[in-house]
């Protein structure tokens, strides 16, 4: 069986934001609703970044500072019960940039479960299934 030609332009690159630590109201228990908790967020946005690689121009890429500011504003002003809802909203923010094809968002609550370093969720969204 002949090998298919491989088109490198179809591969997606990734913009990472790792261990963004923010404080917010998150949780379903009464004690969680009255005090801000620290959460940790990891974001991977998949997009074709080849234009930025060639131009070396910020307008040709997904600006991670812009994403981090938007996520920070949303999280710090939020009042979610579930980390699933918060992670989904963060994914939606990331997909607002037309270049973003898919995103993976991890939200962790350190110390939320006794004897565990943290608990959380990972949501994966793409432009088609938004």
Helices (H), the chain: 30-33, 50-55, 64-77, 83-94
Given 54, 109, 115, 130, the catalytic residue = 109
Annotated catalytic residue 109: yes
Q: What's the order of all strands across the beta sheet hosting 79-80?
A: 79-80, 13-26, 37-47, 102-110, 118-126
Query: Tokens for 32?
Result: 């969680």
Q: Which residue has the tokens 């998150």?
A: 26
CA separation for the pair 61, 49 (Å, rounded) = 6
Q: Which residues are catalytic?
A: 109
């Amino acid at each position: 069986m002949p090998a298919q030609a491989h088109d490198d332009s179809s591969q997606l690159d990734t913009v990472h934001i790792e261990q963004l630590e923010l404080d917010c109201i998150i949780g379903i228990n009464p004690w969680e609703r009255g005090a801000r908790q620290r959460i940790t967020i990891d974001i991977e946005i998949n997009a074709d970044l080849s234009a930025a690689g060639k131009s070396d121009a910020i307008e040709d890429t997904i600006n991670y500072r812009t994403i981090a500011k938007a996520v920070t504003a949303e999280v710090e002003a939020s009042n979610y019960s579930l980390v699933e809802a918060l992670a989904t909203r963060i994914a939606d923010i990331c997909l607002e940039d037309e270049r973003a094809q898919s995103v993976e968002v991890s939200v962790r609550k350190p110390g939320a479960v006794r004897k565990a370093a943290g608990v959380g969720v990972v949501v994966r969204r793409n432009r088609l299934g938004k």
